[in-house]
Amino acid sequence: GDSVTQMEGPVTLSEEAFLTINCTYTATGYPSLFWYVQYPGEGLQLLLKATKADDKGSNKGFEATYRKETTSFHLEKGSVQVSDSAVYFCALKRSNFGNEKLTFGTGTRLTIIP
């Protein structure tokens, strides 16, 4: 079945450091890939997405590129801020009409220290 494997946390970085959170997936066909973020006390929010191979999703300075050859969708940011402290989830969705359910990784807790 479908699965998402995420870099285990927690991850602690200093402000302005470079961030990479690894994500690899297993799925048949050509899934869409997502990064969701959960800030303290809030619900899951879509951060970025990519729907086909070589697509790059980007938002709020975060980027991730859909790599079909390595089945990966690693999240990167060049200079993190304290406000980026949150839990990040990688997810996939198979392109089945009529069912858009998401398969999530276990999440990576990121803490940025000033």
Binding site for another protein (CB under 8 A): 4, 6, 36, 41-46, 49, 89, 91, 98-107
- Are 81 and 112 a contacting pair, CB within 8 Å? yes
- Are 24 and 33 a contacting pair, CB within 8 Å? no
Closer residue to another protein in complex, CB, 19/103: 103
DSSP character at residue 55: -
- Give min distance, CB of 48 to another protein, in A: 11
Closer residue to another protein in complex, CB, 17/55: 55
Closer residue to another protein in complex, CB, 18/32: 32
- Give min distance, CB of 78 to another protein, in A: 25
- Are 35 and 64 a contacting pair, CB within 8 Å? yes
Alpha-carbon distance 90 to 52, whole Å?
Answer: 15
